[in-house]
Amino acid sequence: MSKESSQPQQSEEVDLGQLFKLIGNAFERFFKFIGSIFKGIFRIIILFLLFIQKHFIKFAIAGVIGLLIGVYLDYNKEPKYISTMVLEPNFNSVQQLYNNINFYNELAVSKDSTALAEALNISQREASYIKKFSVESYSDENQKVLLFDEFVRSLDTTTQKAIDMKAYLKNFNSLDARFHTVSVVASSNVIAKQIQPAIINSISSNDYFNLQKDISDVNIQLQDSLYNKQLIEIDSLQLLYKKVMLKEAEKIESGTNISLGQNGSSENKELSLINKMEALKARLVELNEERANKSSILNVISDFPSKGVELKGVLNSYKFIVPIVIVCIMILFFGLITLNSFLKNYNK
């Protein structure tokens, strides 16, 4: 019996030993694999550094030549200026704004100064100064949350429960933003200010948007008259309740009749009227803000400046771009030569 019990115990010890040995071998192979990757990366870095060291003088000469060429191009290039305007489109006119700006940009990029001059009511020479148009939404997270709040309030209670804020912010359309920036790049620093009226009028003269504005003005005026009428009615009711309360107070003082329940009811009604009056006043304030915001089809939050700002920075400087391009071409050229010689030796 003792021999039979010892044999299973020995077999279990053997199995455990083999298991730990397999695990150890697996870890060893894994770390060797990771080490080989790092060795390969290190070898590639060393080969690249040796390649740079071998051709360093050539690359330095190419960089200096590129720098000189870049300085010359920067000195003789035509200056470019950027001007930016911030707009708040109303009555769903934002899509038309984007369409118009993209149309102007196509004309500017294709250098069709004749058509661009006609579209912007400027001379053909002035139109030739314009190089690029762009438009983009201007919104941060706080503005997106406010837009979500306005959107939810416009829905019924059942639909509100099905709306997810994270999904709304994730699928946020740039056209839904409240503010949009229009930028103009030109070789003249004053041309943007001259074309601002034409850009605004291209939207404001649209018959559909004008109809929407007229309807909005009528609705705002109607709501304003209704709110004021309700305030007058509430004011009349307050005077009536005050008279009733004074008469009840006179009866109490004379001792002829005491009606605490009716007096409390009058006070509650008056308090309710005060709350309704405050709510109506708040609505009137909101209505006035809406009237101000929708007084025009396009609200100009920030005009084009009288003079544009010159485009600067390394990405707009030839003395930075040209040396990098020339050096990269040299690296590619000598790299291909080195690769070709390596392949020839490999075949041998």
Q: Are residues 130 and 159 in the same domain?
A: yes
For the cut 60, the answer to whether the pLDDT of residue 224 exceeds it is yes
Q: Name the percent of the chain lying above pLDDT 70.
A: 79
Q: Quote the CA–CA distance of 204 and 345 in Å, as a whole number.
A: 73
Domain membership of residue 245 (yes or no) is yes
| Residues 251 and 160 grouped into a single domain | no
Q: Is 56 inside a domain boundary? A: no
CATH number of the domain residue 258 falls in: 1.10.287
In terms of domains, do 237 and 257 share one? Answer: yes
Question: Domain check: are 269 and 308 in the same one?
Answer: no
In a domain, 40, yes or no: no
Residues 204, 107, single domain; the answer is yes
Amino acid identity, position 160 = Q
Domain assignment present for residue 68? The answer is no
Quick check: is 3 in a domain?
no
Model confidence at 294, pLDDT cuts 50, 70, 90, reads confident
In a domain, 64, yes or no: no
Q: What is the number of domains present in the chain?
A: 2
Taking 80 as the threshold, does the pLDDT of residue 261 lie above it? no
Residues 87 and 188 in one domain: yes
| Per-residue confidence band for 239, with pLDDT thresholds at 50, 70 and 90 | confident
3 state DSSP class of 184 = strand
Query: Does residue 225 share a domain with residue 113?
Result: no
Tell me the C-alpha distance between 119 and 117, whole Å.
Answer: 6
Position 157 in a domain: yes
Are residue 129 and residue 255 in the same domain, yes or no? no
Cα angle 13, 18, 20 (rounded to 5 degrees) comes to 95
Considering the domain architecture, whether residues 271 and 307 belong to the same structural domain is answered as no
Which class for 327: exposed (0-12), middle (13-18), buried (19 or more C-beta within 10 A)? middle
* Same domain as 312, residue 170: yes
Query: In which band, very low, low, confident or very high, does the pLDDT at 273 lie, cut at 50, 70 and 90?
Result: confident
Q: Which domain holds residue 196?
A: 79-211+299-318
Tell me: do 127 and 235 sit in the same domain. no
Residue type at 98? Y
pLDDT of residue 130: 94
Average pLDDT, the chain: 82
Question: Is the model's pLDDT at 165 over the cut of 50?
Answer: yes
pTM, entire model: 0.67
Phi first, then psi: give them for residue 279, nearest 5 degrees: -65, -40
Mean pLDDT, rounded, for 160-177: 65
Residues 310, 260, single domain; the answer is no
pLDDT tens string 106-153: 999 999 999 999 999 999 999 999 999 999 987 666 666 666 666 666
pLDDT in tens, 32-85: 888 889 888 998 899 888 888 888 999 899 999 989 998 888 888 888 999 999
Question: Of 110-114, 185-189, 243-247, which range is least confident?
Answer: 243-247
Mean pLDDT score, 295-303: 91
Query: How far is it, in rounded angstroms, from Cα 71 to Cα 69?
Result: 6
Whether residue 84 lies inside any domain: the answer is: yes
Any idea which of 122-126, 156-160, 192-196, 228-232 has the lowest mean pLDDT? 156-160
**What is residue 258's predicted lDDT score, i.e. its pLDDT?**
46
Q: In this structure, what are the phi and psi dihedrals at residue 257, rounded to the nearest 5 degrees?
A: -155, 130
pLDDT at 5 over 80: no
In this prediction, residues 277-299 reach a mean pLDDT of 87
